[in-house]
Structure 1
Amino acid sequence: MRRYALALDLQDNPDLIKEYDEYHRAVWPDVIHSIQDSGILSMAIYRFSNRLFMIMDVEEGFSFEKKGEMDANNEKVQEWETLMWKYQRAMPGSRPGEKWVIMDKIFEL
């Protein structure tokens, strides 16, 4: 098993943040199935203000490239991602169109 930590910012708007939180209390079943089918064993998202932090535990064969291909071919996942982009904004230093960015582990105990 491998673990990834990712970050993303939300629009700095309390009403949009509230809506985003509400969507994540009831993530669409097709999106949940896509996450599981890609080899993600567990996922948690934390929020402080408009900053999001995600922890993912994945199977050994997991790849972001394969997940990206699966997502691109899943109409419901694309619908979800388009909707979520209303609330999200790119992290400073990210590539154009890039959402979640992988964080570097700098300490472990």
Structure 2
Amino acid sequence: MRTVLALDLKDDPALIAEYEQHHRRIWPEIAQHLKQQGVTGMEIYRLGTRMMMVMETDDAVFDAAAMAAATDTDLRVRAWEELMWRFQAPTPWTPAGQKWVPMTRIFDLSQQQD
């Protein structure tokens, strides 16, 4: 399954540069955690301070609630999330207490008729 999520960065060029530097080579434990949770692919794009994540998951393995629980109990993953929150900011539409929020697909070329 493909999920597209959005999140903002704090509007500070130095923080944005540091955030991008962290993502050039994420901690090995983070990559392992994602794969164990059924994430088969992940890309993050940025325009200004707005970010978009495209996450591919294996439906037979991935469970968002289980991933959140694993994130809460793994000290290294929690440390990564706390570090990332130093750079991140919720979008204006993000519910309190959340970070990445799903975007709504409004167009799919494959569903268009010729």
Q: In 1, distance between residues paired with 2:103 and 2:64?
A: 14
What is aligned with 1:35? Answer: 34
What is aligned with 1:70? Answer: 70
Gaps of 5+ in 1: none
Letter in 1 for 2:50: R
1:2-52 CA-partner distances (Å, limit 9, x unpaired): 100000000000000000000000100001100000000100001111111
C-alpha RMSD over aligned residues: 0.8
The 5-angstrom pairing of residues 3-14 of structure 1 reads 3-14=2-13
What is aligned with 2:112? Answer: none
Q: In 1, distance between residues paired with 2:63 and 2:104?
A: 17
Letter in 2 for 1:12: D
What is aligned with 1:86? Answer: 86
What is aligned with 2:18? Answer: 19
TM-score with structure 2 length normalisation? 0.92
Aligned residues with identical type, % of pairs: 38
Gaps of 5+ in 2: 110-114
Residue 97 of structure 1 deviates from its aligned partner by 2.1
Q: In 1, distance between residues paired with 2:12 and 2:47?
A: 13
Query: Is the CA contact (8 Å cut-off) linking 1:90 and 1:97 kept in structure 2?
Result: no
Q: In 1, distance between residues paired with 2:63 and 2:94?
A: 19
1:46-73 CA-partner distances (Å, limit 9, x unpaired): 1111111000110113121111011111
